[in-house]
Chain A
Amino acid sequence: MIEVGLTHFLVISAALFSFGIYGVVTRKNAVMVLMGVELILNAANINFVAFARYGNFGLNGQIMALFIIILAAAEAAIALAIVLNIYKTFAHVNIDEIDNLKE
């Protein structure tokens, strides 16, 4: 039986982070980008909790994770509001085409 250690958590977290990045970079739909961001944030959560469990940091890691969850919730709320507004304005949420600030 393999002992589940820090490494496993970190690998999971890295994979999640990578999926997140991939989602952020490749998706054109703003909602999908937001979902990528959530993945990244949760990858960070896993890291915090893992280090808190295996490291000598006390409860700091769990607390940071709680913060991030709250922050993610707020972020999702605001971002979805923005996306909704974008949709109202442009009738789509394709971020490639929303480049009014360019030039």
Chain B
Amino acid sequence: MSEILLINLSILILFLPLAGFGVVILFGKRFSKLYLFEQGIITLAFILSVIVAVVKLSSYVNQDILFAFTWIDFGNVPMLGELKIDLGIKLDNLTVIMLFVVNLISMLVHHYSVEYMKGDAKYNRYFAYLGIFTFSMLGIVLTDNILMMYIFWELVGLSSYLLIGFWFEKDSASDAGKKAFIVNRVGDIGMFIGILILFATYQTFSFDAIYEKISMGIIPFDSGAWLTAAGILLFMGAVGKSAQFPLHVWLPDAMEGPTPVSALIHAATMVAAGVYLVARIFVMLTADAMLVIAVVGAFTSFIAASIALTQNDIKKVLAYSTVSQLGYMIMSLGVGAYAFAFFHLVTHAFFKACLFLGSGSVIHAMHHEQDIQKMGGLRRKMPLTYLSFLISTLAISGIPLTSGFLSKDGILAGTLAFGSLTGHWLIPIFGFTVAMMTAFYMFRLVILTFHGEPTDKHKFDHAHESPRLMVYPLVLLAVLSIFIWYTPNPLAPNQGWFLSSWVKTPQTVVPQDLRFEFMQSTETGTGIVHSEMYEHAMHWAHYPAMILSVILAGLGILLAFMMYQWKKISPDKFAEKVKPLYNLSLNKWYIDEIYQSTFINGTLILSNFLAWFDNTIIDGIVNGSATVTRLFSRISGWFDNYVVDGFVNFTAFFSGFIGLSFRRIQTGKVQTYIVFVIFSVLILIILL
């Protein structure tokens, strides 16, 4: 199969879901069966993506396939020369794997939703939204440049907004949608400024072109700090989308959306886009940027896991575990364990989608009951759901023979190696603690939901295994959570095809002095990815990490069984002992409240103040100047009336007055006049 054909196929895959969206949104009202069109389209897209992935990974495994076109041509721009904005597609191994994962989960969720959403008033529209989501997500995956990634990044945000707020009649749902979009925007602003930095320096958005120039030693504004800033700012986009601290608050709320949506968007694919972004920009990250990323990831995974310990809503627990696992991936990229991060992204996508769809199955069976304290014993009623849920739980807890064990172990080894090389031991400590917490809260979830005795007898009696169309995705995803798909040796992920031939850590391109010491190469210019020092540390960390993580996970599971299955330890009493910590966890570290009282209220107060300011001061000045003008006009009117006109009248009056007074002399008597004449003559004579 030729490269052109691969490109054309992937463009087709990209636009198929968009066509589905367009057709269903425009005509969905008239034809109630139109969702079947969307189903067909997504199934076709999946089949095509399998073909593309297989061909790429077999025939072109070490070769990237590129396609670009000019979107905007500015011609010959003064001072810069030719300037164009190109968009394009890049097919590398990462892309095709993601293509497969996204289309697979999207297709499963489409099929699953047919049953899950049955009877909803906006049935067709739901599938249209799924279509536009799939389109946007595929866009992120396929792009070869950061601008196009931003475009689809925002579109994903839109589809997420639409789907979280799908049941917008509920205020909580519309609130959650809004919150998700706005919180994501915070991160996007950072990402956008990062993009601006890159474009201002390189006049291109293409990843490859940018990296080539960085490797030639051209860095933004001739300062390493700006390169670090660019990395961190781009990472901010991931902080938003992948729900990293401090922008993780939207993801738990996003569970207001339909559960299949949570599985597709808020667990498996969209939230992983942030990780994908960091993987894409991995090669341009400086040591400082990587450290920031590692710390953010580690802290996020810890904080989310600590909150998940006490939540009682089945979806909330899964949401926080998603945040925690995403933190793992981010942390893994930060410590340089690139391949394991991506590996975990893929494995996590499968088992977390399975968990969410499983929870959806449970919620469906329990008539939209989500509180795990009101469940229990469902194992008997829903065996297939239980089994797949259990396998996925084992995977997320990192128990051997599962896919999760392989990827998680790699990440933990990576942190351990990082700690040993740089002295940042806090990161592996966070990592291992979280591993134990994860095992604990996941098994708490399983036990409370499926084991023991039912707490709500009425609902339990009506519970039943879900229809086949809902169960088959669960089983398929559970099967994909087993090690065999990734490596023949369940203890050595490195020996598998996934890590040995498909996904390899790329060479970093940042200048030598901005890299971690262990990433510096002895040869100038080119150089190897990781120094021997690093390889050595990884090798050393492998077994300790594996053993430690299994022990910790086992401890976590044991604790969960002690508390909830065998009831040896009373969770309530334990909570009483660590009351402040328990409350902190239960209330999600009060982060929402802090944001509410600072940022949100602050903005609202500021905006109200400015509106007042605008209305009273600025407009007051305008109206005031109008009033002053009116006042002046009144004064000048008065002046005109009384002074100017008065003067005129005064002149007349004065002459009248003079006339009147002279009139006295004019007696009309000739004799008087003669007297005057004579006296005047006399006076004249005397004077002369």
Contacts and interface: CB of A to CB of B under 8 A. Distances in A.
Interface of A: 21, 24-26, 33, 95-96, 99, 101-102
Contacts of A95: 669-671
A95 B666 CA distance: 15
Nearest to B671: A25
B668 A99 contact: yes
A21 B669 contact: no
B683 interface: no
Most chain B CB neighbours (cut-off 10 Å) among A25, A96, A99, A101: A25
A96 B671 CA distance: 9
Contact of A25 (B666, B667, B668, B675): B675
Interface residues of B, number: 9
Most chain A CB neighbours (cut-off 10 Å) among B667, B669, B675: B669
B665 interface: no
A21 B668 contact: no
A95 B670 CA distance: 9
A52 B666 CA distance: 39
B68 interface: no
Interface in B648-688: 666-671, 674-675, 678
B574 to A, nearest CB: 124
A96 B669 contact: yes
A96 B667 CA distance: 10
18 contacts: A21-B674, A21-B678, A24-B670, A24-B671, A24-B674, A25-B671, A25-B675, A33-B670, A33-B671, A95-B669, A95-B670, A95-B671, A96-B669, A99-B668, A99-B669, A102-B666, A102-B667, A102-B668
Contacts of B675: 25
Contacts of A21: 674, 678
B659 to A, nearest CB: 12
Contacts of A25: 671, 674-675
A31 to B, nearest CB: 14
Contacts of B671: 24-26, 33, 95
Nearest to A101: B668
Nearest to A27: B671
A60 B668 CA distance: 37
Nearest to B673: A25
Contacts of B667: 102
Nearest to A21: B678
A39 to B, nearest CB: 14
A43 B668 CA distance: 27
Interface in B273-321: none
A26 B671 CA distance: 7
A74 B204 CA distance: 126
A26 B675 CA distance: 10
A33 B666 CA distance: 20
A24 B677 CA distance: 13
A33 B669 CA distance: 12
A102 B674 CA distance: 17
Given A24-B670, A102-B666, 13 more contacts: A21-B674, A21-B678, A24-B674, A25-B671, A25-B674, A25-B675, A26-B671, A33-B670, A33-B671, A95-B669, A95-B671, A96-B669, A99-B668
Nearest to B672: A25
A39 B667 CA distance: 25
A12 to B, nearest CB: 19
A21 B670 CA distance: 12
Contacts of A99: 668-669
A26 B670 CA distance: 11
A40 to B, nearest CB: 10
Most chain A CB neighbours (cut-off 10 Å) among B667, B671, B678: B671
B516 to A, nearest CB: 120
Contacts of A26: 671
Interface string B87-119: 000000000000000000000000000000000
B664 to A, nearest CB: 12
Contacts of A24: 670-671, 674
Contacts of B678: 21
Nearest to B678: A21
Nearest to A99: B668
What are the nearest 8 A-B pairs in CB distance? Answer: A102-B668, A99-B668, A25-B671, A25-B674, A25-B675, A24-B674, A96-B669, A101-B668
A43 to B, nearest CB: 14
Contacts of A33: 670-671
A21 B676 CA distance: 12
A21 B668 CA distance: 18
A25 B678 CA distance: 10
A74 to B, nearest CB: 19
A99 B671 CA distance: 12
Nearest to B663: A103
Interface string B543-562: 00000000000000000000
Contacts of A102: 666-668
Contacts of A101: 668
Contacts of B674: 21, 24-25
